[in-house]
Amino acid sequence: MASPVTWERRGRVSVITVNNPPVNALAQPVREGMLRCFNESMADPAVEAIVLTGGGRTFMAGADINEFGKPMREPGLGKVIDGYESSEKPTIAAVHGTPLGGGLEVAMGCQARVAHPKTRLGLPEVKLGLLPGAGGTQRLPRLVGVERALEMITSGDPIPAPLALELGLVDEIAEGDHVAAAIAYAERVLDGQATAGATRARDEKVQGVDEAIFDKAKEKLARVARGREGPLRCVEAVRGSVTLPFDEGITNERRLFVECHDSEESPALIHAFFSERAANKIDDVPKTTPTRPIKSAAVIGAGTMGGGIAMNFANVGIPVRIMDTDRASLARGLGVVRGNYQRAVDRGRMPQAALDARMELIQGVSDMDALAEADIVIEAVFEDMPVKQKVFTALDKVMREGAILATNTSTLDIDAIAATTRRPEEVIGTHFFSPANVMRLLEIVRGSKTSAEVIASAMALARTIRKVGVLVGNCDGFVGNRMFHEYIRQAQFLVERGALPEQVDRAAYTFGWAMGPLAVSDLAGNDVGWYIRKRHIAEGLYKGGGYTGAVADALCEQGRYGQKVGKGWYLYEEGSRRGSPDPEVEEIILRVSREQKVNRRTFDDEEVLARLHGALVNEGSRILEEGFAQRASDIDVIYVNGYGYPAWRGGPMYHAERQGLASIASSIAEFRKDEPALWPESPLLERLAREGGSFKDAN
């Protein structure tokens, strides 16, 4: 087999090129080839300098994900980098695309760097619970300074080439062909007109740094990366660049890398990473399924959700029309959209020109006929079946043939909505999560007649608008909300039987959730849950018992709808999103408990979490068995990206397997003895627990 790395001599310069499509991942054959080509170039007396580059769309994008979790095969990346760094012949990296992780570490190991203007450079290992393990935590501080290195390594976010030049991470921006520019740079080095030198030669330690910067960084990370250890280890690795000689800093970095690798955090984050990729694979919708181009869009409803959905299209250059028959609501909605963009401008995240360009792509209309030529229309009106059916009856008459008709419903039957049209095969659910312009998840709901082409098109659209699309089946609440309904029921049960809201939410928050379940209810609006509970009662969902909404109902009856009115499960000061316990809520809880003749008892946090998470896993298993989710990892993707579940725990299904399905099933069986209506049977979970199986066996 031909090597993925080759070299050729261009005058006095050897050009070593890596060709390992699609992103030149640093697999063992690549590392071996880079070392071989380097040694051959060093042995050639006609070669006086070396340029290292990558073929295709990027320089080198990092480690080969197929090697994750496997023993490293020689040569290690550190050995390869050491050769290029200590070379007596100048080594120049010609970088383009996205030199990330190990790719940037290779570039930093070269003695100079020339970059294409659109290059983005970064060390994203922390996003997988790891840290740069091939000298990145030692070389980056020497090139850009400790403060910037800490920021880049602990966030994992890349920076553009112009900023990299300003910081000293690259030495030159190429005006044209970046490889030709790197060769020219090498020639200037040979002629004494430019400089190139090993990073470690600058200082044995980074000098002049107040070490308090590291403690401050860890204090900040304890807040923004709550519960995680990986970012804190990154700080300690960078600290080594200041406190240790270079070689000892490398040893310290490797020790910390192994700690990260062997932690529970990194495998969970790697699981989350691979799960997002797997979610794009749909058994009965092959990659060859044609997709429909979406060059224009329409949204019905100018509320918070509708405006947020429209922003997703404008953000990627797709013109979109927002339709609302109430002109005042339309104007107000467009104002909210502009305000969202303006805040981004005010915070320096977006130039004014981008705001203006995006607002030009968003047009408000009050007549449905104005939507007729859109490639996709997304209905985002009130969560009420008759209202949505009326909208789709009208859309069926107005929209052109071949347009995709999508509903943003979060719980309602897609087939019942599609049945009001003459083209149910073109109807699909696109469940955005609020705020729609921020949240990554897009639950894509297939109806019984939705065509494969429409499904493939919706999944492709998710990628286009930078969402994580997950295909789910058509049941009440789909996957995310069906499970969350059980999670909330347990939270309400705990409050009715003896806990207080702040204990329930504290236990969930301490575990790593972005918010506790009752705080989430306040954020979403308690009236929304109230409306759904009323529908479920009318549909006979609680005929067998298990209704836990009495306290929540009592709150709503007193107008305690949550943050939007300043009071719900908690009390909110004007303008604050942080709630505080309200004695009035405790009085309501105690009153309802008395009315229901409940003997309140204490719950420890362990039982609180066992009930909350047991409810999620039990219902997730039922969903998987019934075929409404294609794989357990899809459920994890939904919860990590849409519900604030901590990514560093992998997702509820993954975490359950780490805990042990037998243990989870045993706890549920005990809870079921006293409250059978709250714990419906899950034959799949019970079988896997009994047989020692895995959710992968049931995908």
**Catalytic amino acids?**
105, 125
Strands 468-472 and 441-445: what pairing? Answer: parallel
- In single-letter form, the type of residue at position 403 comes to A
CA–CA dist 393, 214 (Å, integer): 61
- Helix axes 102-109 and 136-144, enclosed angle (nearest 10): 60
- Beta bridge partners, 406, equal 378, 428
Q: What's the DSSP call for residue 86?
A: H
How open is the CA angle 566-571-575, to the nearest 5 degrees? 45
CA 228 to chain centre: 16
Strands 91-95 and 49-54: what pairing? Answer: parallel
The pair of structure tokens assigned to 562 is 């949550």
CA–CA dist 622, 567 (Å, integer): 35
The Cβ of residue 256 has, within 10 Å, a number of other Cβ atoms equal to 23
- Sign for the CA dihedral angle at 303, 645, 129, 661 comes to negative
- Beta bridge partners, 377, equal 298, 405
Hunting for tokens 């880049």 — which residue is that?
152
CA–CA dist 444, 451 (Å, integer): 13
Strands 5-10 and 13-18: what pairing? Answer: antiparallel
- In single-letter form, the type of residue at position 416 comes to A
The pair of structure tokens assigned to 588 is 């309501």
Q: How many residues does the chain have?
A: 699
Contacts of 480 (CB under 8 A, 6+ apart): 431, 441, 443, 472, 638, 639, 642, 643
Contacts of 520 (CB under 8 A, 6+ apart): 644
The pair of structure tokens assigned to 363 is 């047009």
Q: In terms of Cα–Cα distance, which of 187, 253, 259 is closest to 13? A: 187
